[in-house]
Structure 1
Amino acid sequence: MALPVFDDKMSDADMDRMVENATAAAGFLKAISHEGRLMILCHLVSGEKSVTELEDLLSARQAAVSQQLSRLRLEGLVVPRRDGKTIYYRLADDRPKRMLETVYELFCK
């Protein structure tokens, strides 16, 4: 997909869409800008995990993990599922996985 070009021919509707897209992208980037949230997404790439599993994997307290999951949920990046008293999380779609692949290419090779 080609990047949009700002020029005199851009309609107001196109400019409004660009602003909406920029706002959504900024929210997404803010959500993944925290190392704890980024690590949660990395763990969820391999499949659904309970909050307790994430606590163990991250060596973090339940309150901290829940706070980060709340932000990821707010941005629509993860989806919860309750089974009795246990809450499980999974990626909402493939955006986080694609983003992690890009980050890996940029910083980890």
Structure 2
Amino acid sequence: MTGIVSKRLEDELRDGPEVSPELDRLMRNAREASDFLKAVSHENRLLLLCLLAERERSVTELENILSLRQPTVSQQLARLRLDDLVSTRRDGKTVYYSLADEDVRRLISVIYDIFCGAKED
């Protein structure tokens, strides 16, 4: 099995306590990953992201699919928007939500494959 961190970083960690540029980058990326995982760790937010991975949807449509009240859906969408995981498009009075980028779609796809895909027994 290959290592997750680079050989160079492993060597730098072994050589001394000072923070290398590569370790500093790894730490910043870990913070970003942690923030992302916190955002998707809520059941309703994860469900919203799964539904948006299929296609763009309105708030009303999401409310109906999940049988949740509008304030609940809007609150969770606001959090996802704050974390730059979803984007919006307005058409008259209707606001449509979609995934913000392909990275979000890829992660939701992996989560779906692990937890919802066909499992061999």
Please, what TM-score do these two structures have when normalized by structure 2? 0.81
Q: Does 1:3 align with 2:4?
A: yes
Please, what TM-score do these two structures have when normalized by structure 1? 0.89
Q: Which has the larger radius of gyration?
A: 2
What is the distance in 2 between the residues matched to 1:74 and 1:2? Answer: 33
Counterpart of 1:97 in structure 2 is 105
Percent identity for Structure 1 against Structure 2 = 51
3-state secondary structure, aligned to 2:4? coil
- For structure 2, which runs of at least 5 residues remain unmatched after alignment? 14-18
What is the distance in 1 between the residues matched to 2:43 and 2:3? Answer: 30
Counterpart of 1:43 in structure 2 is 51
One-letter amino acid of the structure 1 residue matched with residue 59 of structure 2:
V
Counterpart of 1:53 in structure 2 is 61
1:74-100 CA-partner distances (Å, limit 9, x unpaired):
111100111111111000112232222
One-letter amino acid of the structure 2 residue matched with residue 7 of structure 1:
E
Tell me: CA distance 1:44–1:84, structure 2 relative to 1, closer, same or farther (3 Å).
same
Counterpart of 1:85 in structure 2 is 93
What is the distance in 1 between the residues matched to 2:44 and 2:55? Answer: 17
What is the distance in 2 between the residues matched to 1:46 and 1:8? Answer: 43
After the TM superposition, list the runs of 4 or more consecutive aligned residues in structure 1 that deviate by more than 4 angstroms: none
Counterpart of 2:16 in structure 1 is none
Structure (1/2) with the larger helix percentage:
2
- For structure 1, which runs of at least 5 residues remain unmatched after alignment? none
Provide the aligned length of Structure 1 versus Structure 2.
109
One-letter amino acid of the structure 2 residue matched with residue 9 of structure 1:
E
3-state secondary structure, aligned to 1:9? helix
Task: Identify which range, 35-44 or 98-107, moves more after superposition.
Answer: 98-107
